[in-house]
Structure 1
Amino acid sequence: MISHDGHVHTPFCPHGSKDSFKDYCEKAISLGLQSISFTEHAPLPEGFIDPTPQLDSAMSQKDLQPYLEELNDIKQSYQGKLDIFIGLEVDYIEGYELETTSFLKKVGPFLDDSILSVHFLKIYDRYVCIDYSPDVFEETVLSLGSIEAVYTRYYETLQASVQADLGPYKPHRIGHITLVKKFQKKFPTQHTFRQETTILLSAIKEKNYSIDYNGAGVIKPLCGEPYPNKQIIQEAIEMGIPLIYGSDAHQSSALMTGASKLHKGVSLSKP
């Protein structure tokens, strides 16, 4: 039984709903959850230009302090009813390691939880948001020459995120490690990338990190499975890597997304 949702967005998300923190908390309680991690998209590194058309991949820097203050208030008001973890989903962006480290040093002491995710890939001299849309994914395929090349670049970047020295407050949970498969039904590949994911899991295990067992892919019409899938989860279990369920909800009604489709019998952890 799932008692903790470890990947939840908030009204501070510029591409999510404006459901209040209270909406999320009341929904979590109604679902029988004991705890929840609010993990809003952290402000992007200084100097990095969001490649999405609406520039809405993450909260702005000016919203960070209000976000932390509101969460501290809600954490206190739900004490004894719901355990609330104050967190962020931090982007690993190749070439912006120093800026990310500096940011984490400032905000890290105020966090209970955090996730390190890859949404942006460096393709030659530019960046793309790999999960933004099928059109962007297709443009990336054309730039790199094949679907397989996009997957390879994604797993290379994930591996770099695990190995990167981002200071003492680096997140120890790696987010949705098969996000590149979001549009797999439109852009299928016969390559399993088993070697790449095994190498990635080995690095995660060596670092004593955990994995975001993310249900959002289940409801994505071109994906249809969790991030990661059953095969990778089984390998992670065999390696003894902790798995933390996350709905990746961007509205309160999406809490527990994909939970019924997760690998049965999995022992899930909390942060």
Structure 2
Amino acid sequence: MKQNGDYHVHTPFCPHGSNDRLHQYIEKAIEKGLQEITFTEHAPLPHAFQDPTPDKDSAMNWDDMESYIQSIRDCQHAYKGDIKINLGFEVDYIEGYEKDITQFLSEYGPYIEDAILSVHMLKTPKNQYVCIDFSCDAFGDIIKQFGDIDIVYQKYYHTMEKAIQSDLGFYKPKRMGHINLIDKYQKVYTTKKSYQKEIYHLLDLIREKKMELDINTAGLYKEDCGDIYPPVDIIRFADQLDIPLISGSDSHTAKHIGRGFDQLPSHIPYSKPNSTKKS
């Protein structure tokens, strides 16, 4: 089944992305025949949270918020009639910072038309924080901090469960992002056990909370992953649970819009997201 749109797209406001302009992403989406696009820039991290990555580039800057919102509004006006453009964010769930995240969503929720809730940061046994997808070498260091790769995986899925169950207020994102992002380096670091049971449990919770699932093709192009987030068998199971499946490229450059959509299961019905904007 043809995807309606690309609902996980980054922008030049992303510190670890490209300098491609918004109009380049939009025109690539139109060229590919997409009806809709959601810009989901990494929302600024809580003021009190210290970005644990070496480059301090996990999310957009607070100072760019107004410019980001206005830039997308300008594009919505410029491309009206050509493609539907949604203003959104990819919001980090960070254990222990729920109040800060809720405050952000409460302030900016009225502007948000679509959003994703993701887990990139884990709290370590020493109550520090790490970013799980910065680099393969950094992931190796994370394993050392936790003492075992399976402890890292267990922590990740437990944090994902917390994210799904969390009360982040009226504007909590409805879609869970790349639920097995922890597999980004699976070809290098192999777990001793399977985590399919944990993923199935997350899907049950997502269904219970009436949330959506990010079907994210970026993992196909990560050399140490090589698979969709989540894999095809998980996508099929989620479809059986009637969870809305929302396609996203997680592109950080215009040329990657819609990349890998032709490798998604063709018999699965992909949905349009329900707007998070409240009337």
TM norm structure 1: 0.98
Of structures 1 and 2, the one scoring higher in RCO (CA 8 A, sep 6+) is: 2
Q: After superposition, what is the alpha-carbon deviation per residue over 1:164-185, rounded to whole angstroms, capped at 9, x for unaligned?
A: 0000000010000010000000
Corresponding residue of 2:115: 114
Q: State the SS of the aligned residue for 1:11.
A: coil
Q: State the match for 1:91 in structure 2.
A: 92
TM-superposed CA distance for 1:266, in Å, is: 1.1
The Cα of 1:219 is off from its aligned counterpart by 0.4
Equivalent residues of 2:46, 2:97 under 8 A apart = yes
User: The residue matched to 1:208 in structure 2 has which SS?
Assistant: coil
For the 8 Å contact 1:128–1:136, the answer to whether it is kept is no
**Matches of 2:197 and 2:11, distance apart in 1:** 36
Corresponding residue of 2:197: 195
Structure 2 counterpart of 1:35: 36
Match of 1:216 among 196, 215, 218: 218
Give distance in 1, aligned partners of 2:187 and 2:78.
Answer: 44
C-alpha contact 1:4 1:36 (8 A) present in aligned 2: yes
Distance in 1, matches of 2:192 and 2:3, equals 33
Q: Map 1:65-80; keep pairs closer than 5 Å.
A: 65-80=66-81
Counting matched residue pairs gives 271
What whole-Å deviation, never above 9, does each CA across 1:114-163 have from its counterpart, x for those lacking one? 00000000012110000111111111112222221111110000000000
Partner Cα distance (1:263, 1:224) in 2 = 16
Partner of 1:56: 57
Give the match for residue 230 of structure 1: 232
Select which of 127, 141, 144 maps to 1:142. 144
Structure 2 residue aligned with 1:154, among 150, 153, 156?
A: 156
Give 1:25's aligned residue: 26
Runs of 4+ aligned structure 1 residues displaced above 2 Å come to none
Q: For residue 166 of structure 1, what is the amino acid of its counterpart?
A: L
Judge conservation of contact 2:10–2:17 (CA < 8 Å) in 1.
yes
- 1:264 is displaced (CA, Å) by 2.8
SS at match of 1:233: helix
Give, as a single letter, the amino acid of the residue that structure 2 aligns with 1:157: T
Q: Equivalent residue for 2:277? A: none
Match of 2:176 in 1: 174
1:260 CA drift (Å): 2.1
Tell me the secondary structure at the aligned position of residue 44 of structure 1. coil
Which segment drifts farther, 144-153 or 57-66? 144-153
| Alpha-carbon distance in structure 1 between the residues aligned to 2:169 and 2:43 | 16
Deviation at 1:190, TM superposition (A): 4.7
Compare 101-110 and 194-203 and name the one that shifted more: 194-203
Q: Is the 2:4–2:271 contact (alpha carbons within 8 Å) kept by the matching residues of 1?
A: no
What secondary structure, in the 3-state scheme, does the structure 2 residue paired with 1:182 have? helix
Letter in 1 for 2:182: V
Instruction: Let me know the Cα RMSD of the aligned residues.
Output: 0.9
TM-score normalised by length of structure 2: 0.95
The code of the aligned residue for 1:36 comes to: I
In structure 2, runs of 5+ residues without a counterpart are 274-279
